[in-house]
Amino acid sequence: MTVWIIVLGLIMFAGSVVVIFQKSIKNAVITFGAVSLVSALMFILMKAYDAALAEASIGSVLTTAIFFWTVRRLEENGFNEKK
C-alpha cells in the first residue's frame, strides 16, 4: 500500500514538473488533467472515496474543459501559440 502511494506520488510530482516545462498549452492542460486523475487514484488508496469522486470530476473534467474553452476563446481572438 505504502509503496503504491509513494509510486503514485512520484508520478504526480513528475507530471507537475512536466506541466511546468511543457511548451504547448494544450499538452500542459492534458498533463494537468492526468495528474489530477492520478491524485484521485491516490485518494482511493487512502480510502477517501468522496474526495476521489470530487477530484476526478472537478480536477480532470471541469478544469480541463475550462482551460480548453479559454484556449478556444483566445484562438478565436487571434492568439496562436505556435508564433
Partner 1 sequence: MKRNELLINIFTIILIILIAAIVYLALTDSRKGLTLFSARLEDRVSYRYLFKCVSETDALKQRSVRIGQSGYENGAANIVTAVIVDYRLFDTFCEVLILFAASAGVTLLMEKRKKRIKKEAGIIVQTAVPMIMLFTIVVAFYIILHGHLSPGGGFSGGALIASAFILQFIAFEKKLSKRWFALLEPLAGLGLLAFGLSGLYLRGSFFANFLPTGSLGATISAGGIMIVYALIGIKVASGLSSISADFSG
Site residues (vs partner 1, CB under 8 A): 48-51, 53-54, 57-58, 61-62, 65-66, 69-70, 72-73, 75-77
- Nearest CA-CA partner of 30 in 75, 61, 76, 73: 61
At closest approach, how far in Å is the CB of 49 from partner 1? Answer: 4
DSSP 50: H
At closest approach, how far in Å is the CB of 15 from partner 1? Answer: 20
Q: Is 29 exposed, middle or buried (0-12, 13-18, 19+ CB in 10 A)?
A: buried
Considering the complex, state which of residue 3 and residue 50 has its C-beta at the smaller distance from partner 1: 50
Considering the complex, state which of residue 18 and residue 48 has its C-beta at the smaller distance from partner 1: 48
Positive/negative CA dihedral, 70, 58, 25, 17 = positive
Considering the complex, state which of residue 45 and residue 58 has its C-beta at the smaller distance from partner 1: 58
